[in-house]
Amino acid sequence: MIHILLCPHVLDYGGAQLGVLHWAKHLDKSRFKVTILAMGKGGLSSQFESVFSVFYDDIDYPNILEFIKKIKPDILHACPPGGKSIEYITKAAGLVPVTQTSMCPRVVGNKGDVSGSVVISEYVLSLQEDVEDAVCIDLPLDVSGYEIKYTKEYFGLPENKLIIGSLGNERKENAHFMKIARNFKNKDVHFAIKTNEKFKYFFGRDKITVINRYLDEDEKLSFFNCLDVFLYPTSNEAYGLVFLEAMSQKVPIISYEDTAMPEVISKGGVLAPLNDINRLMLILEDLVKSKDKRKRLGQFGYDLFRNRNSPEVIAKKYETFFNNILRKG
């Protein structure tokens, strides 16, 4: 039995934490035991606690050595953003083999401390100074526990129009969605965005729905299921769990041809050069006109998601990764 002490930082809701949860719970339980050590509670605490034994330290893991001595893992697996060395990883490596999944589009840190590193896309792998510094394992998404039960009516969306949806993020390109919604001329189209931002202007509530409240996972995937196109202008993505959420519901994607998006989305959508809003508009016009093309792209994305991002497939890759680390000593 290989005991993994998994350190996913604070158990907030986020792509990094969800990705970790979705592969870790599919590790072979006859060969792997997983214990969670988090920096603090968050929106995903209950999900982690329903599957694993969970311990809580504090920000930056000040008591990491005491927890290692208490839990006695075979491997500590950290989930840092990358780009710099982190003190708790250096300290932990003095007691136990440490591995890591670097979650952001950066060079992996702590290379002198860790026994192995995972990056989540070929794009991030291409950033490494030496390709032998890391292996690439895609993010998984496990939708089996979610219920798609909310309809357009639930979200206040019109039944008789094509729904072009998006999610808010903090990148400047996210504002391009609202610009397109403001300028797109087609009465058969309605825009919808889940965002925390309070917009000061509306250009007709018959044209756009802005959802400012929190959506749980059932609601979020139901929202995706209501969409005809997922229009998500963004940049500097290491992967993009939101793309997998759209692909899981057979929704074609429009985004920018930047960082990891071409490999993640592949033929499940259409990409424009970064910041080319006019090109995004033309792509959207084309998809709005062609139901067959929307269906074809959505099906390709779904098939890719099922084959590439299956949590069982990703868990097997992590099992191989951990076995290789212990075999190398």
Task: Give me the domains of the chain, ranges plus CATH numbers.
Answer: 2-140+310-328 (3.40.50.2000), 152-308 (3.40.50.2000)
Give ∠ CA 184-186-191 in degrees, rounded to 5.
65
- Tell me: the pLDDT tens digits for 102-143? 999 999 999 999 999 999 999 999 999 876 779 999 999 999
pLDDT digits over 5-52, tens only?
A: 999 999 988 888 999 999 999 999 999 999 999 999 998 999 999 999
Terminal Cα-to-Cα distance of the chain (whole angstroms): 16
Q: What is the enclosing helix (H) or strand (E) of 313?
A: helix 311-328
The CB density around residue 278, as the number of other CB atoms within 10 Å, is 10
- Output 38-41 pairs: Cβ under 8 A, ≥24 positions apart: 38/7, 38/8, 38/9, 38/10, 38/11, 39/9, 39/10, 40/10, 40/11, 41/10, 41/11
Q: DSSP letter string over 174-240?
A: GHHHHHHHHH---TTEEEEEE-S---S--S-TTTEEEE-S---HHHHHHHHHT-SEEE------S--
Taking all residues of the chain, what is their mean pLDDT, rounded to a whole number? 94
Sheet holding 229-231, edge to edge: 208-211, 189-194, 162-167, 229-231, 253-256, 269-272
For residue 312, the one-letter residue type is E
The pLDDT-based confidence of 205 (bands split at 50, 70, 90) is low
Q: pLDDT higher for 235 or 199? A: 235
Give pLDDT, residue 170: 77
Q: Which residues pair with 76 in a beta bridge?
A: 5, 98
pTM check: above 0.75: yes
User: Running DSSP on this structure, what letter comes out for residue 110?
Assistant: -
pLDDT band at residue 241, thresholds of 50, 70 and 90?
Answer: very high
Judge whether residue 322 has pLDDT over 70.
yes
Q: In which residue are the tokens 């939101």 written?
A: 242
Average pLDDT for residues 159-184, to the nearest whole number? 90
Q: What is the pLDDT of residue 199?
A: 63
Asked whether the beta carbons of 256 and 189 are under 8 A apart, the reply is no
317-323 contacts at long range (C-beta below 8 A, 24 or more positions apart): 317/137, 318/23, 318/24, 318/27, 318/118, 318/137, 319/27, 319/28, 319/31, 319/32, 321/99, 321/116, 321/118, 321/135, 321/137, 322/2, 322/4, 322/32, 322/75, 322/77, 322/99, 323/2
SS3 content of the chain, % helix, strand, coil (to 5): 40, 20, 45
- DSSP designation for 140: P
